[in-house]
Amino acid sequence: MPDTDSPALILDDLMVMRGDVALCGALNMAVHAGEIWHIVGPNGTGKTTLLMMLAGLLPIQQGRLHWQGRAAQEWSTLYVGHLSGLNSSLSVLQNLQFLANLSQQNTRISHIDDALMQVGLAGYEDVPVARLSSGQKRRVGLARLWLDPVPALWLLDEPLTALDVAMVERLNTRITQHAAQGGRVMLTSHQPVACVTHTVDLAQHVVVAEDDR
Amino acid sequence: MKILWQREWALKVRTPAGWLYPVVFFLMVLVLFPLAAGASPKLLAQIGGAAVWIAALLSVLLGMDSLFRSDLDDGTLEQVVVARYSLPLWVLIKVAVHWLTSGFVLTLLSGLAIPLFGLSTDEASVLALGLLLGTPTLTLLAAVAAALTVSLRGSGVLVPLIALPLQLPVLVFATGAVDIVQTGGQVLPVLALLAALLILAVVLLPWAIAGALRLALAQ
């Protein structure tokens, strides 16, 4: 049952657009506390674009996005996208401290060490990110999910890419735990994700170009 | 905010080649100019201010095109926007740290104009004061150009093309200040004008730069 105390994130006739091109039809959905949404669809149907719009990276040109009437800007969001957000010449610790500071999370070294332990990178604090493998970089980006206080809305773009089985398992557990605490998660993945509670298929929203009439 | 400041410093420490190159360029022009211009001490003292300023202007432009490039490419800029951190403040911190490793170093090195160009101590102090007030404005203007062209590959030529016309007034006033000292005039009004330009630049340009960076993200 959705938590009625916490307002839902509402997508109201939201058009997923890149520039002037609509990638799929208008979306109408409500994301309640405790829900984990899996956004699926073939390549090019706007999964990443939708997440970027929700994150405030792309302007919303048609339709509305709001938290039951309140501006979406009032909500803290954690976005893990295709780009890692990590500077390759800085160390793992320096990068995480910077990102934690941006999203007003605890930047104490011991706290970040704990998060690194959760993603299996204990002892990597002072290693420059340039020396990590792509899977390890991915883990550093995901370590932010274990930092307190964690933002309520998680937008994860292909979080499972380059992760090993054990880490996928741990990530599933963490997402479930976050949802149980009233958080909400929207993620894209071409692999099946065990913890999802809802699925939206962008392919079923594909618009027929109006010129075709 | 302290952590943002530290990050920029750490980046400068880890990649010294990027900011040392413009400084070395400035030094080379300063040393080579008197050698090439001949041995007339009077002529050297006359053109010294202008030579140092042109070297400073070109040095500031060097390497500016990459100021925001890595932050756009690695997703740092995305994270600043998603966290709704003040983009103009982040820009200001970034440009300030950049200036400390460029314009500020040039200001300190401009003292070399005393032995190299035979400037008097008074002339050299006005020159240094002009650089102290002028180079931050030049850096901010170049940062606007850098932000506008950040998503274009090979935009190295565009940055000076966009920035130079905007930077010209600063150059004209600042070199004028050294002339005024040499002819015994009042230098304070010119320095005050440079300071006014700097204040305007610090207050307004971070917003312009932030706007340009947002445009680059939405592409």
Q: B133 — phi, psi (to 5°)?
A: -85, -30
Give pTM, 2 decimals. Answer: 0.89
Residue carrying the six token digits 């750490």:
B10
Residue of B nearest to A80 (CA): B79
Residues of B with CB under 8 A from a CB of A: 3-4, 6-7, 10-11, 14-15, 70-71, 73-76, 78-85, 217-218
Percent of chain A at pLDDT exceeding 70: 90
Q: Is the pLDDT of residue A3 over 70?
A: no
**Residue A69 pLDDT level (bands cut at 50, 70, 90):** low
Q: What pLDDT was estimated at residue A73?
A: 60
Q: What pLDDT was estimated at residue A131?
A: 94
CB A37 within 8 Å of CB A196:
yes
**Residue A203 pLDDT level (bands cut at 50, 70, 90):** confident
Closest partner CB to A85 (pick from B75, B217, B218): B75
Q: Is A44 or B79 the better-scoring residue by pLDDT?
A: B79
Q: Enumerate residues 6+ apart whose C-beta is below 8 A from A112.
A: A93, A96, A97, A100, A125, A143, A147
Q: What pLDDT was estimated at residue A211?
A: 40
Q: What span, in angstroms and rounded, lies between the C-alpha atoms of A196 and B29?
A: 63
Chain A residues within an 8 Å CB radius of B73: 83
Show the tokens assigned to A45.
């149907």
pLDDT in tens, A144-183: 999 988 888 999 999 998 889 999 999 999 999 999 998 8
Q: What pLDDT was estimated at residue A207?
A: 47
Q: Is the pLDDT of residue A58 over 90?
A: no
Count of pairs with CB atoms under 8 A, one residue in A, one in B: 73
Show the tokens assigned to A78.
């954690």
Q: Is A202 or B27 the better-scoring residue by pLDDT?
A: B27
Q: Is A71 helix (H, G, I), strand (E, B) or coil?
A: strand
Q: What pLDDT was estimated at residue A5?
A: 58
CB A152 within 8 Å of CB A97:
no
Q: Is A133 helix (H, G, I), strand (E, B) or coil?
A: coil
CB A46 within 8 Å of CB A80:
no
Q: Is the pLDDT of residue A212 over 90?
A: no
Structural domain span for residue B198: 2-217
Query: Does A102 lie at the interface with B, CB-CB under 8 angstroms?
Result: yes
Taking phi first (over 0 means left), then psi (-120 to 50 degrees means alpha), and beta for anything else, what does residue A189 get? beta
The sheet with strand A21-31 has its strands ordered as: A21-31, A9-18, A64-67, A70-71
**Residue A4 pLDDT level (bands cut at 50, 70, 90):** very low
Residue of B nearest to A150 (CA): B83
Q: What span, in angstroms and rounded, lies between the C-alpha atoms of A48 and A54?
A: 10
Q: Is the pLDDT of residue A13 over 60?
A: yes
Mutate which: B5, B68, B82, vs A, most A CBs within 10 A = B82
CB A41 within 8 Å of CB A8:
no
Mutate which: B19, B68, B78, vs A, most A CBs within 10 A = B78
* Chain mean pLDDT for chain A: 85
Q: What span, in angstroms and rounded, lies between the C-alpha atoms of A120 and A124?
A: 9
From the first residue on, what is the mean pLDDT of each consecutive set of 10 residues in chain B (219 residues)?
Answer: 90 91 96 88 89 95 89 93 92 96 96 92 94 97 95 84 94 91 90 96 97 90
**Residue A65 pLDDT level (bands cut at 50, 70, 90):** confident
Domain total of chain B? 1
Query: Does A61 lie at the interface with B, CB-CB under 8 angstroms?
Result: no
Q: What pLDDT was estimated at residue A86?
A: 94
Mutate which: A54, A75, A87, vs B, most B CBs within 10 A = A87
Query: Does A18 lie at the interface with B, CB-CB under 8 angstroms?
Result: no
- Average pLDDT for residues A175-199, to the nearest whole number? 89
Show the tokens assigned to A196.
């999802």
